[in-house]
């Protein structure tokens, strides 16, 4: 099994490379804890998706900590990492989103794989759940069945600003019905609000299952992803900031009956560093887990 880590962000809201920032008792980053949990769950290879501009610190980080422990690959999410014949529109300044970030891995991933964000602390149980699923994905009839670990929306909010989440609908058999990317999500009095496509706001309960980009796929996913991305690029992009979201690509496969997605629910608390002020909360949370003996003081 391969762990694909989406680490191409440059931390504009955070003010630095949050994926490498120290939050643990011995300068461990969230990324360190994610990799520790993944290796404990049985993952055997790690693919880091980064941008060229942060290659030097990321390569140093990886070679210092992981290169001797597990096979590692670096792939680059850049504006010109496009299918043959596709040209980026003039004026585009940022890469194409999480769907594109996964697509650039297609030449280095040939086994069942898990996708995570570098700056999200998901908890050990999530890796154990997805590993259990991926270990069953070796037979041909399972190639179109994927999985997602879902968290309760109220457990994934930041106290210091809005967040974006894939809000999910799930059937009685824990199959994903749909996932819709919502932005501008924040707490409001006794509930939660989000921004809609028309600029209006809508209310949420906080109990909705949401995607935090914790997915389980097989390599069979890549041809579907590439086809959708080509259509996205050829559609005539009027908004130079629009992104090709991974949850939206999965949602389309479900709607077109090309895939089924099992939802593996996690009751654990999520913590992450969207904003600089989030760091203290993450440090306290990890300190508590370490104090309970759930993580060693030194991971390696």
pLDDT value of position 237:
67
pLDDT value of position 18:
65
SS3 label, residue 121: strand
In terms of residues, how long is the chain?
Answer: 300
User: Beta-carbon neighbour count of residue 242 at 10 Å?
Assistant: 13
Nearest partner of 72 among 47, 92, 95, judged by Cα: 47
Beta strands in 87-246 (DSSP E): 113-117, 120-121, 145-152, 163-170, 176-188, 191-195, 201-204, 209-217
- Spell out a b/e string for 69-90, using b for 16 or more CB atoms within 10 Å of the CB, else e: eeebbebbbbeeebeeeeebee
Contacting residues for 169 by C-beta, under 8 A, at least 6 apart: 176, 177, 178, 179
DSSP states along 22-68? B-STTS-BHHHHHHHHHHHHT--EEEEEE-GGGHHHHHHHHHHHTTT
DSSP states along 66-90? TTTTS-EEEEE--TT---TT--PPT
pLDDT profile of the chain (300 residues), mean per 10:
86 55 87 94 95 88 87 90 78 84 95 93 93 80 80 82 85 92 78 78 84 92 93 76 87 91 86 81 91 90
Please indicate, yes or no, whether the overall pTM of this predicted structure exceeds 0.95. Answer: no
Cα–Cα distances in angstroms (integers) from residue 92 to residues 12, 242, 243, in the given order: 17, 10, 11
Residue 170 backbone phi and psi in degrees, to 5: -130, 140
- Strand 72-76 with 45-50, pairing: parallel
pLDDT value of position 115:
97
How far does CA 155 lie from the centroid of its chain?
A: 16
pLDDT value of position 112:
94
pLDDT value of position 185:
84
pLDDT value of position 70:
93
Nearest partner of 249 among 212, 213, 224, 218, judged by Cα: 224
């Amino acid at each position: 099994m391969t762990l694909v880590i989406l680490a191409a962000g440059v931390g504009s809201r955070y003010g630095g490379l949050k994926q490498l920032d120290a939050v643990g008792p011995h300068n461990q980053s969230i990324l360190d804890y994610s990799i520790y949990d993944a290796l404990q769950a049985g993952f055997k290879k790690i693919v880091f998706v980064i941008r060229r501009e942060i290659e030097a610190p990321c390569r140093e980080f990886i070679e210092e900590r992981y290169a001797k422990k597990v096979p590692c690959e670096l792939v680059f999410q850049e504006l010109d990492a496009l299918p043959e014949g596709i040209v980026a529109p003039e004026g585009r300044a940022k890469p194409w989103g999480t769907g594109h970030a996964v697509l650039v891995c297609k030449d280095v991933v040939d086994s069942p794989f898990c996708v995570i964000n570098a700056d999200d602390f998901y908890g050990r149980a999530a890796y154990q759940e997805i590993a259990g699923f991926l270990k069953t994905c070796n037979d041909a009839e399972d190639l179109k069945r994927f999985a997602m670990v879902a968290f309760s929306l109220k457990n994934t909010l930041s106290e210091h600003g809005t967040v974006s989440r894939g809000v999910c609908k799930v059937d009685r058999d824990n199959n994903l019905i749909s996932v819709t990317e919502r932005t501008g999500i924040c707490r409001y009095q006794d509930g939660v609000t989000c921004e809609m496509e028309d600029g209006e706001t809508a209310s949420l309960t906080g109990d909705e299952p949401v995607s935090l980009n914790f997915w389980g796929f097989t390599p069979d996913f890549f041809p579907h992803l590439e086809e959708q991305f080509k259509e996205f690029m050829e559609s005539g992009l009027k908004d130079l900031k629009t992104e090709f979201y991974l949850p939206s690509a999965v949602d389309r496969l479900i709607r077109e009956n090309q895939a089924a997605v099992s939802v593996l629910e996690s009751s654990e608390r999520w913590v992450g560093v969207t904003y600089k002020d989030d760091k203290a909360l993450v440090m306290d949370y990890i300190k508590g887990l370490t104090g309970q003996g759930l993580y060693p003081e030194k991971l390696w």
